Amino acid sequence: MSPTDCHLAPEAKRDEEIWFEDGNIIIVAGDTAFRLYKGILSAASLVFKDLFSVPQPEDGETMDNCPVIRLPDPATDLRHFFRAVTKPDFSHLRHDYKPAFGMLAAVCRIGHKYQADEVVDAAAARIENFFARWPSTAATIISKNRGRMPLTWELFWWAHNRLCLTAVEIQDAFEAVGLARLLGRPSILPFALYLCCAGDPLHMRDGVPRPDGAVSRLSSEDYLRCIQAIPKLRAACSDKIRSVLARSMTASVLSDCTNGGQCAEVFEMMHRDFIEEKYVPVVTDLFASIRFLRTKPVAYTTYYLCLCSKCVLRLDVIEYGGEAAFLTKVFEL
C-alpha cells in the first residue's frame, strides 16, 4: 500500500475478525478499523442506509480506496453487531447454541442506535425469553422432580440458563433493566430487578462495569424500587416457610409418618418457634426449599432431627410467592 492510498490515522488497526478484503466501506471506532460491505449494512440498518446515501466528500478520509467513516461507539460493541449482521458462523443452527448475554446486549444497543430493527428483535427476544420465563422453569423443575428432589437456588439458576439456552450472569440483570427501558420491553423488568436485589448490594449502588468501560447503573427510580422490594421479598420467603410448616402439622398429611403421627407435634413446635423467631432470609431463598435455605431458621435446626425420615422430606415442598404477577406487584411495576 502506498502512502497516498491511506489517509487513516496510524493508531487505527485492522480488526482481525471483521475485515473483508473486498469490502467497500471502512468503519473506524477508537483504534479499530472494520472493513465491510455498504449493501449488507444498509439492508440491516436504516441509519447506515441513510449514511451511505449521502455522497462522500471527494477529499474525505480513505484507505485502500475505500471511504472511511468514524463512529463514536465502543469497538467491542460494534464487533458484536457487525458479526451478527455480516458474518453468521452458523452456530445458531446448532441445537445447543447458547449465546452470552453480553453479546446479545451489545447487538441490542448498537442495533437500536442504528435502527437495525430485525437484528434487535431477534436479540431482544432471546433476552426477553430468559427474563420472562422464570415461572415456567420453576414449574418444570417441580413437576419433573415430583417432590423427590429439593430445590436450591443454584439448581434453579443452572436449569434456567440451560432451558433458556442463554448464558446469563446475575450481574447482567443491571444491563437488562436498562435494555428493558431502552427497547420498551417491560416483561424483562420484574425478574431483572429481582436479580439486582439478589446480587452484590454494591452493584445496586455503584452499577456494574461493562467490557467497553461504560457502567450499567440503575436509575434512581429503579434503585428505590429495589431497596423497597427487598423487605417484601424476605417477607414472602418467611410466609412460604410458615405455610409449609403449618401444612405439615395436619394429621391427614402425616398419614405415612413412621413415628405414628408424632411428627405433627414436632412440626407444631417448629411452627410456633418460627413465628416467634426474627428470621431474616436472603432474597434467593425464595427459590429454595426449607432444607436448603442459605440461612436456616433456628426453629428448623432445633427440631429437624426429631422428625422421621418421611416427614423431614415434607420440608422440600416448594411454595413460591406466585408467578410473574408476584414480582410485578413487589416492584410496583
The DSSP 8-state label assigned to residue 179 in this structure reads H
Of the two residues 303 and 331, which places its CB atom closer to Zn ion in the complex?
303
Of the two residues 124 and 266, which places its CB atom closer to Zn ion in the complex?
266
- Report if residue 263 touches Zn ion, rule: CB under 5 A: yes
Question: 215-216 and 208-209: which strand pairing?
Answer: antiparallel
The residue within the footprint of Zn ion, chosen from 183, 195, 257, 290 (CB under 5 A), is 257
The residue within the footprint of Zn ion, chosen from 108, 177, 188, 311 (CB under 5 A), is 311
Least distance (Å) between residue 269 CB and Zn ion: 13
What is the Cα–Cα distance from 311 to 266, expressed in whole angstroms? 10
Of the two residues 129 and 302, which places its CB atom closer to Zn ion in the complex?
302
Of the two residues 168 and 245, which places its CB atom closer to Zn ion in the complex?
245
- Report if residue 227 touches Zn ion, rule: CB under 5 A: no
Q: Which three cell numbers stand for residue 280?
A: 431474616
What is the Cα–Cα distance from 313 to 263, expressed in whole angstroms? 12
The residue within the footprint of Zn ion, chosen from 136, 140, 259, 328 (CB under 5 A), is 259
With CB under 5 A, what is the number of residues at the site for Zn ion?
5
Length of the chain: 333
- Report if residue 264 touches Zn ion, rule: CB under 5 A: no
The Cβ-side half-sphere exposure at 303, using a 13 Å CA radius, reads: 23
Of the two residues 259 and 328, which places its CB atom closer to Zn ion in the complex?
259
What is the Cα–Cα distance from 110 to 116, expressed in whole angstroms? 8
Least distance (Å) between residue 246 CB and Zn ion: 16
State the DSSP string of 115-154. T-HHHHHHHHHHHHHHHH-HHHHHHHHHHHHTTSS---HH
The residue within the footprint of Zn ion, chosen from 155, 167, 306, 308 (CB under 5 A), is 308
Q: Which residues bind Zn ion (CB under 5 A)?
A: 257, 259, 263, 308, 311
